[in-house]
Structure 1
């Protein structure tokens, strides 16, 4: 966290019914994080994908994703979600002023964009974040696996196990860092 007061979680979360109503009426701001391991030259060599249950009850591969809270900077949101999904010892390298590699618009209606979230219209700022520390799946994640770039770009890839367009987001992330 920054030197300023910790994120005000009081008032940052809504009751489930209220959040459902807000999701029906407003786009919600999210962050998507593609965690990576790099070699000594800074080239991406592995991508971390989570395994979790989807809202539809399927087991899918996923990336780090979540809402930005009220009074929370983007940097703080990235740190919080990386820690929530990968653990406190993940040691992410987040720039002082994070700039997304793309913006993904998730729509509740399939086909409006390549990204789909049946719950809501979400605007997600997407980041590639190098991780240097020890990682382990946390909270609702069942597993964390690190895949080599070549493995993800192969014809039969773990990216096929992703839903909502997140496979495309990972491919865009790899292209952005020159690994695709």
Structure 2
């Protein structure tokens, strides 16, 4: 799961917690996130490409990742999806998020490995996961080094799956199964 930069207390936008307040909250309750699998679709709506971010994780390893981030206090889930897609893919990505988005799954990340396929050593987080078609020009933003568009088969290959951590590879395979691109 990725984060956006924390702001100094005086400059925090509404809905942001200070670093210490966030650490305290993470120690006592699950935090709500969204995960988005950006896709390109053909004229019939079939998924033809999956966008994967290349990032450096907290341990300094280069990994592949999905678009992911927290839902802020008093923020609609749809707005959080749009904010994180713009943050990671740029303002010209043109995501097509429906007015009332429905997740394809709910991923529960635990700080203890092995409880579920999803792991986040910082916290217990619950993430609503979506497949989101994007039709615009996508450019990696923030801490993303690269955005690669792969076929669903390439994205689900063992070579790419081993580059994904925290359960994002498993989540990607679920997404592709959901859209009929993985048996």
TM-score > 0.5 by shorter chain:
yes
Deviation at 1:124?
A: 0.2
Query: Does structure 1 retain, via aligned residues, the 8 Å contact 2:63–2:165?
Result: yes
Deviation at 1:14?
A: 1.1
Query: What is the TM-score of this pair, normalised by structure 2?
Result: 0.91
SS at 1:116's partner residue? coil
Aligned residue in 2 for 1:32: 35
Query: Does structure 1 retain, via aligned residues, the 8 Å contact 2:53–2:146?
Result: yes
Q: Specify which of 122, 131, 139 is matched with residue 142 of structure 2.
A: 139
Query: What is the TM-score of this pair, normalised by structure 1?
Result: 0.92
SS at 2:162's partner residue? helix
Q: How does 1:155-170 map to 2 (within 5 A)?
A: 156-170=158-172
Deviation at 1:15?
A: 1.1
Aligned residue in 1 for 2:7: none
RMSD after superposition: 1.1
SS at 1:161's partner residue? coil
Q: Specify which of 93, 113, 117 is matched with residue 114 of structure 1.
A: 117
**CA deviation map 1:101-144 (0-9, x unaligned):** 00000000011111000000000000000000000000010110
Aligned residue in 1 for 2:178: 176
Q: How does 1:13-52 map to 2 (within 5 A)?
A: 13-52=16-55
In the aligned structure 1, how far is the partner of 2:40 from the partner of 2:153?
Answer: 14
Aligned residue in 2 for 1:91: 94
Query: Does structure 1 retain, via aligned residues, the 8 Å contact 2:156–2:172?
Result: no
Contiguous gaps of at least 5 residues in structure 2: 1-11
Q: Specify which of 55, 59, 70 is matched with residue 58 of structure 2.
A: 55
How many residues end up aligned between the 2 structures? 171
Contiguous gaps of at least 5 residues in structure 1: 1-8
